[in-house]
Amino acid sequence: MRFIADRMLGKLATWLRIFGYDTLYVGDFETSDEDLFLLENFTDRILLTRDKELYDRAVRRNRKAVLIRNDSVIDQISEMKDIGIDTEIRMDRCSVCNAILRKPTDREAKEVMEKEGIEENLRERYELWYCEKCKKLYWLGSHYRNMVKFLENLK
Ligand SMILES: [Zn+2]
């Protein structure tokens, strides 16, 4: 399943990427009419929306769409679970930009760590993943543990 999320669902989009799903967010595109943009572009993706009117318009166009009913992210994730997504945290997609992650080269890891003031021994303690686009490193550290904890609230 691949998705595109409306303006209200930025956090949900981030989580879907964390679960490994290819998910675009309308806020990452420059467009003057987001609803029309969502209806007319990326039609091979399931449209996720919090907006009943947009949902109805999508359905009238035979577009696959999901109307998200809850405001809280954990409940939104739960709704997505009901339609069959797997809520396991994966390290294969950048949660910021949706690009596929890969192992960093020594030089890339070093550059990011220097720039962000991350301790050099991170590399010995954790396996690292790298987003080429954001020049960002990922590892299963405290941020990961917080995510696991957050997901324990899933019903
Ligand atoms: Zn990225």
Instruction: Please say if the pLDDT value at position 13 is more than 90.
Output: yes
> Tens digit of pLDDT for each residue in 67-112?
999 999 999 999 999 999 999 999 899 999 999 999 999 999 999 9
Identify the structural domains of the chain with CATH numbers, from first to last. 3-82 (3.40.50), 106-139 (no CATH)
The residue type found at 138 is Y
Q: Which pLDDT belongs to residue 41? A: 96
What percent of the chain is modeled with pLDDT above 70?
Answer: 100
Q: How far apart are CA 126 and CA 79, in angstroms?
A: 33
The CA 18 to ligand 1 mean position distance, Å, reads 12
CA of 78 to the centre of ligand 1 (A): 25
pLDDT tens-digit series, residues 39-49:
999 999 999 99
Quote the tokens at residue 50: 């919090």
Which of the four pLDDT bands, split at 50, 70 and 90, describes residue 155?
Answer: confident
Cβ atoms of 24 and 44 within 8 Å: the answer is no
What angle (nearest 5°) sits at the alpha carbon of residue 18, between those of residues 81 and 102?
140
- The angle formed by the CA atoms of residues 148, 152 and 155, to the nearest 5 degrees, is 140
Q: Residue 32 C-alpha to ligand 1 middle, in angstroms?
A: 24
Pair 67, 122: CB distance under 8 Å: no
Report how far ligand 1's centroid is from the alpha carbon of 130 (Å).
8
User: For residues 118 and 143, what is the distance between their CA atoms, to the nearest angstrom?
Assistant: 14
